[in-house]
Chain A
Amino acid sequence: MAEISFYPVWLSIKVALTATTANFFIGTFLAYLLSRYDFFGKNLFDAIIMQPLIMPPTVLGYYLLVLLGRQSFIGRFLEDYLGITLVFTWQGAALAAMVASLPLFIKPVRAAIESVSSHIEDSARILGKNEWQVFRHITFPLARGGIVAGTALAFARSLGEFGTTLMVAGNIPGKTQTVSIAIYDAVQAGNTAGAQVLVGLITIISVVILYTVNRVVTRKY
């Protein structure tokens, strides 16, 4: 029982990168919306998208499984009409990681966007820039610190994600078994040596990635 597969390491990185990329776009959009616009039910909406931080991950995973599984209308629609299966696939694991880490991305990004002076944005508007150009050339670059922080947090959370992923994607070796789940599995199987190797590897990888991000960010900006 001592064999170790390194596939989970690669899978975790793939899942975390996909989740973080998706959060980068969705999260930036939502954070911009929350910080720059007032709309009905905004505070309630904010409270709802923060739920993954509060909810136990397995409960969150259970909701997602019920929402997207074959028993639900949405799950059947995606599978029958679009050929997309989310539960028990790596894409499902990425979705789980994304939902779990979204609030960690939005909070710092929203604060960063709010701290960008609207006078500068207005000046750009007076100079004839449209909303996308204002965001792209003024708001985004000025909020970059918060966006990088949010990205790093979301990536870290995605890489370590366990409970939600286990519920949504299961524990299928070579398909949906991420590092966190492989470590849990190895410990349960009494393969502590295998677990230690994976723990060591993922620790090194995450430290290297986060250290590199910090270096790049502090040196250049």
Chain B
Amino acid sequence: METTDKKVNPFWGNIFKSLYNADELNLFKILKRIPLFKDLSKRELRKVANILHERNYQVNEYVFQMHQPGAAMFIIKTGKIKILYESDTEDDIELAVLGEGDFLGELALLDNSPRSASAMAMEKTEMLAIFRADLDKLLMTEPGIGAKIIRQLAVVIGLRLKATNEQLSKINTEAARENV
């Protein structure tokens, strides 16, 4: 059986020790799964990690509520989040359930327009939040990193727009067929 705790020479161990600790590497793994950060190197991911806020949510706790101004994008580290469309007159409609590695509220990185739906924790959930003003500062100080993130954000929004157009076109076609 192979032993896991190998004896490392203190001298060479210090010289060749990793630049990143286990927690950081774990965080990088999560970030790498997010399309926005997939082009970033470890050095660049560390800069992004510096502006991340860690938040913990209890069951049924809101991450954000519909119509509130958006200020941050959230990444699910562990746990589950449901996206709700809340109505004053009817029951809430569950639009989606998101899990580990998914992200939500990315449009808040562009402006402070109101949230189009609410997000609520379905179980104990750990999240990472990236705030718009912090990203703006990163764009100013590290334009290279900022450009990569913004480019990927444009791709994500473009894909969503494409999907919405396809859905809209399907609905129109079906409506036209029904009319015929």
**A, B from the same assembly:** no
Instruction: Give the A-binding residues of B (Cβ under 8 A).
Output: none
Instruction: Give the B-binding residues of A (Cβ under 8 A).
Output: none
